[in-house]
Structure 1
Amino acid sequence: MKITIKQTEEQDFNYTENFTREIFWDLYTSGCTDHFILHNLRKSKEYIPQLDLVVIYDTKIVGHIISSKARVIDNKNNEHELLCVGPFAISPKIQKMGIGTQLLSHSISTAKEMSYNGMVLFGDPNYYHRFGFDDASKFGITTKDGLNFPQFMALELQENGLNEIEGKFFDDKAFHVEETDFLEFEKKFPAKEKGQPKFPITI
């Protein structure tokens, strides 16, 4: 099985946005906004082109992952730069083939080489613990609202990289969707009917 992992090219932006929309539709929420988040991340000053990655199998893009700059603010109002992982989308047709594992591992390795101290994400602990992600609370990191829960995880990229980073986690403003802007953006895509989420998020 030959796969290629590479930086996403601008000519693939529209495709990966539609791909993300298809993968996340009715997955965790009714409909989805992940493609809009992806679109806005690419316009953000926190965008990192080297961590906007696709995986190609049999000449087709079958997976995409992006990480963007984020920050943890401690109780003295000091800011510490970390990465926020996601959206991360893999085609259901190639799941269980190890392709998603290779894409995420490549993303982690690239982030390490770029000297980032750590990554934070929201996801399934049963999946991400395999890559070394652990409860963010173990590093003294909470959500911006001061919360912790199993789906909120962090990964140390450098030795002791998170030792002196604790506080509240703030991702890019692209993750905070304005309904009016989203509905206008959604007009670019074929109409889809919203249903019940397969894996509703409960915190």
Structure 2
Amino acid sequence: MTNKISLRQETKDDFKKVFELNQIAFGQENEAKLVDALRKNQTAFVPELSIVATDNNKIVGHILFTKINIKDDTGNLKESLGLAPMAVRPELQKSGIGGQLIKKGFEVAKELGFKSVIVLGHEHYYPRFGFQSADKWKIKAPFEVPSNVFMAIELVTDGLRDISGTVVYPKEFETV
């Protein structure tokens, strides 16, 4: 079934299906509600970075990257992206769809001029795509979390050079 996966930007017509996908993939509504809320945040939401994976026009995966900031000790903000959430239909997990979504997201993010991505995610999954502990750049989460699951990647050489501090997520993340 997964040999004909297509990746494309999400459209308005996909919203209901993406909600259902996140609900099924996570076994709850929190992530689905987060995606809906983030779409309404015109500062953080980047339509080109809400990407769906389809199989015969059926949505089987979704990834969302939103704008975040990294605030240094002096209060300066540097823009980055947060990867969250990413969902794949349970029966298709571990089939490479998530990886395709991540790679496509990186490609689009680079085209749009973004230099880095932050993720709070599985310590054995995300490093496959180049993510490393955000500690490497002295970047911290705004909440207590083990450093091995809070990661960053430079999309371009030196994308996080001279950037350190605490990640500031869009306020919608506080509702999850």
Bin the TM-score by the shorter chain.
over 0.9
Q: What's the secondary structure of 1:48's corresponding residue?
A: strand
Shift of 1:32: 4.4
The residue number in structure 1 matching 2:16 is 14
Q: How many residues align?
A: 173
Quote the Cα distance in structure 2 between the aligned partners of 1:65 and 1:16.
Answer: 10
The residue number in structure 1 matching 2:123 is 125
Give the CA RMSD over aligned residues.
1.5
Quote the Cα distance in structure 1 between the aligned partners of 2:82 and 2:49.
Answer: 11
1:163-178 matches, cutoff 5 A: 163-177=161-175
Shift of 1:99: 1.8
Deviations 1:163-200 (A, max 9, x none): 1110010111111118xxxxxxxxxxxxxxxxxxxxxx
Shift of 1:12: 0.8
Q: Cα gap change, 1:139/1:152 in structure 2, threshold over 3 Å: closer, same or farther?
A: same
Quote the Cα distance in structure 1 between the aligned partners of 2:22 and 2:65.
Answer: 14
Is 1:41 the counterpart of 2:47? The answer is: no
Q: Which has the higher strand share?
A: 2
Stretches of structure 1 that go unaligned for 5 or more consecutive residues are 26-30, 179-203
The residue number in structure 1 matching 2:114 is 116
Quote the Cα distance in structure 2 between the aligned partners of 1:148 and 1:117.
Answer: 24
Corresponding letter in the other structure for 1:37:
L
The residue number in structure 2 matching 1:64 is 62
The residue number in structure 1 matching 2:105 is 107
Larger radius of gyration: 1
Poorly superposed stretches of 4+, deviation over 6 Å: none
Q: What's the secondary structure of 1:49's corresponding residue?
A: strand
**Which segment is superposed worse, 35-44 or 97-106?**
97-106
Q: Cα gap change, 1:151/1:144 in structure 2, threshold over 3 Å: closer, same or farther?
A: same
Give the conservation status (yes or no) of the 8 Å contact 1:8–1:52: yes
Corresponding letter in the other structure for 1:41:
L
The residue number in structure 1 matching 2:77 is 79
Corresponding letter in the other structure for 1:9:
T
The residue number in structure 1 matching 2:136 is 138
Q: What's the secondary structure of 2:161's corresponding residue?
A: coil
1:53 pairs with one of 46, 51, 54: 51
Using CA pairs under 8 Å that are at least 6 residues apart, name the structure with larger relative contact order, 1 or 2.
1
The residue number in structure 1 matching 2:5 is 3
Corresponding letter in the other structure for 2:164:
E
Q: What's the secondary structure of 1:125's corresponding residue?
A: coil
